[in-house]
Structure 1
Amino acid sequence: MKNNSLMYFKTPENRAAESLLILLGLFCVGFFALGGVVQIVVMMAFGASFQDIVQSGGDYSKLPNAWVSMILGQGLGSFVGFVGTAWLYWRMIEKKQWSDLNFRPLPKIRIFLMVILIEGVFMGFNGWLQELNQNFVFPESMKGLEAVLKSMEDQLAKATKFFTTFTSFWQFLLAFIVIAVIAGIGEELVFRGLLMRKLLLGTKNIHVAIWLAGFIFAVIHLQFYGILPRMMLGVLFGYLYYWTGNIWVPIAAHIFNNGLAIVIMYLYNLGIVKTDLESIDHVPMPIVLFSLVATIGLLFLFRNYMESQSAESKSIESQA
């Protein structure tokens, strides 16, 4: 079934509604259930007892070999939850090849370089969205909810700080693989490769599919005070997937986004970079405006370039 100019379905697929329910079920079992079990098993393998884990109250930083057990547990849990969900659904249920996630061939290296440029320019505007999100104040009637969300935010901030406080190269490499590579591949397979395409199949509107997938992508992370910038990142990845028609483009963009943060944190821990990413709480408005205008301009040029490449390819195919 043809659908929009650059994304289309090569062969019949399961209906959108039932596919979304199956995906949700597989993800909940894989990420929240099996992923949690994997995390516990890894921590026990590195010397923690089950009683220690229970008594920690969720603060695992004091457990034996805490850093390596937590980062490995998170990596394996994410692999099971995201890559496992995508594999079970796409390969076992739909019985399709990974290549069927692509609507167009792998683009040339210059496309990936353009994507990196767009992401770099976008950071200023997205940093401002982060600032807005973190300063959001609930009405008096919802202060209870605000307290709960802030408590969750504080716990996640502590975990992030613990994960990214390292000075050895092997720790940096392991963190990069887990936080950038595994997360980048797994999350894009689920949220763009599967969820977005099923939303497109159901709504017949690519923009609705992209924005809904971006919203769900942000909500799944259970971090209210980061939901706005994370949603916009998801939307950006969605349009990159749509315009290029190849799942490796948003995967590369996701890996770059997470990986750059890990690199900067590593350099900060070594004292090479003087500014900690977590301490940046204000983006000057001139930078925000430049970032927004430049991002819109670059996306406009990128879309037109990809559409011209698609038209050129079709012209060559018709002449062959």
Structure 2
Amino acid sequence: MKLVKVVACLFLALGLALPVSAASIEKPECIAPAKPGGGFDLTCRVAQIGLKDQLPNLMQVTFMPGGIGAVAFNLFNTTRTDDPNAIVAFSSGSLLNIATGKFGKWTADDVRFLAAAGADFGAIVVKGDSKYQTLDDVMAEFKKTESAMTIGAGGSVGSQDWMKAALLLKSIGKDPRKMRYVAYDGGGDAIAGLLGGSIQLYTGDVGEMVSHLGTGDMRILAVMSSERLPAPFDQIPTTKELGYDAEWTIMRGYYMGKNVSDEAYNAWADIFKAAYKTEEFAKIQKDKGLLPFNMAGEEFDKEVKRRVEKMRGVAREAGLIK
């Protein structure tokens, strides 16, 4: 806070207008659009911990489940369009929902994409005591029939978690539309379903598994990346090295309401840019199973919207939209 005062005095002495800064963000809040325990929770924790030295007050995390992000997206397009204190967590799954029209009339142009939290990857997960010891064991079952196992994840048919499972089946020439798939409202519910025996296979995210490593509750059979990930995931094989053409990279990040001021938007972007340069932010990314993908501000907004357009094309090819 002393530095803020010094900068303020300097600007006043020079007769310049004070810029909007971190000090103006009095009640920082991150909206996690799902129940606790899933990927959106993880994304908000990255901001809460990674920005604690950049903000005047500790960020509050608010959970807003419903429609795999649709409720929050609607709120920030209606009543909180200009909220300068709030950021909302999103993932590539959110972008896929936007691309396929699952957020109703709202499009990628109806929010301002702010900053990235990092990159995550798909994970093929079974319960700790599952008889399936390897991904090959699982795929051998699916080669018999697409309905050999019940798959579950935090998203409906056409969501990114469904796409992960679909890519697995397509890699062995099977029809994804015939698989038994259970849709949950977030990763936390899907994990509970796996541990409770309601599903046999969970197509989740690597980042969600960090807190479960070493517990014996679950086992990651493979990660859906092109190369092996750094520790603590370096001992887990990739789908690619096991011979299955099924990769899924997940972008995690934050958006703000479409009517938020340029001053507030740029202040948040500058906060993230400053945090990216710190060891603390790199540590929380690693601790949460994320790889660095450090981009904020207008450049990030353009990149996200480019990806949405690309996803729309892929979804059209898959017959999910016309």
- Which range, TM-score by smaller chain? under 0.3
TM value normalised by structure 2: 0.27
Q: Counting helix residues as a fraction of each chain, which structure ranks higher?
A: 1
Give me the TM-score of the superposition, normalised by structure 1. Answer: 0.27
More strand by share: 2
